[in-house]
Amino acid sequence: MKVVLLGTAAGGGFPQWNCGCHLCGLARAGFPGVAPRTQDCVAVSGDGEHWYLLNASPDIRAQITGCPALAPGPGRWTPIRGVLLTDAELDHSLGLFMLREGAGIRVWATEPVLGALREDLPLRATLDRYHGADWCRVTPGKEFTVDDHLAVTAIPLSAKTPKYATPAEGTWVVGYRVEDLVTGGVLLYAPCLAQWPPHLDEVVAGADCALLDGTFWSAGEMRSATGTRTQKRMGHLPISGGGGSLERLAAHRGVRRVYTHLNNTNPLLDITTPERTELVAAGVEVLLDGAELDL
């Protein structure tokens, strides 16, 4: 299985357009070791020809044009065959508007997410009025195949509802376990973790690589850096501190562990920080946009 990290930043990207925090300033100034990043999105393929996006960020056009494997042709044929949404957040779904020109695309999501994109955000209607889309309901915990090479299971994570959406029962946020049916390689992609559910340890242990929510390094980081709300209200488990995800990852040293979805306030964005040194010592990675993995 081939994996490309098209984008690795949280909503708003890095630097964020409306933020003048210290880290955003360093990125704008071209400071060494503080690389700009687009909003989180991943591309996966079992055969190197047919590709599937895990989420569709607002930066999707730049991400596609910057990735040779996703280049179109001949004619208007595109190797992008579908999109798997982890949730209905705008920074994970707005890129579907840009994909409206592609014919025959399939979109997988849980029932509450499909409902929000139908009732609260005119996304489904927009795509259907162009070339149409095949909307597929995902049942958490039930495996399905996207093609002859890849099998996928949605891992239930939380019921966090986007601000714009009407609350509804069900699983709003999932991670995806993607397995290559030929090589046996397994990727876990979970960019949004409000907490660490007990069943996640088993999924991480069975993966070759886990791409996990690295939005915030610490609790209260947002308030400290920008004077705005804390990470807890935004539904992201911090990396450090008691009960943080880094502590939980210590039990999975045999798995390649990578943080993605980094917020613009996260000190891991600067390779010279003590936090980045601590992460390296723990054997956990932060990769740049465009990084490629083979599983």
Q: What are the phi and psi torsion angles at 292 (to 5°)? A: -120, 140
Q: Give the domain range for residue 190.
A: 2-294
CB 292 within 8 A of CB 262: no
Domain count for the chain: 1
Compute the CA torsion angle 277, 257, 264, 40 (nearest 10 deg): 160
DSSP 8-state code for residue 14: B
Q: Residue 270: which residues within 8 A CB-CB, separation 6 or more?
A: 23, 26, 31, 33, 34, 276
Mean pLDDT for the chain overall: 94
Query: Strands (DSSP E) along the chain, which ranges?
Result: 2-7, 41-45, 51-54, 80-84, 105-109, 133-137, 144-145, 150-158, 173-180, 186-190, 209-213, 256-260, 285-286, 292-294
Query: For 190-204, what is each residue's pLDDT tens digit?
Result: 999 999 999 999 999
pLDDT tens-place string over residues 31-51: 999 999 999 999 999 999 999
Q: What is the pLDDT of residues 61-117, one digit of tens each?
A: 999 999 999 999 998 899 999 999 999 999 999 999 999 988 879 999 999 999 999
pLDDT band at 221 (very low <50, low <70, confident <90, very high): confident
pLDDT of residue 235 exceeding 80, the answer is no
pLDDT of 267 strictly over 70: yes
Rounded to an integer, the average pLDDT of 119-142 is: 93
What was the pLDDT predicted at 225? 52
Give the CATH number, domain containing residue 269: 3.60.15.10
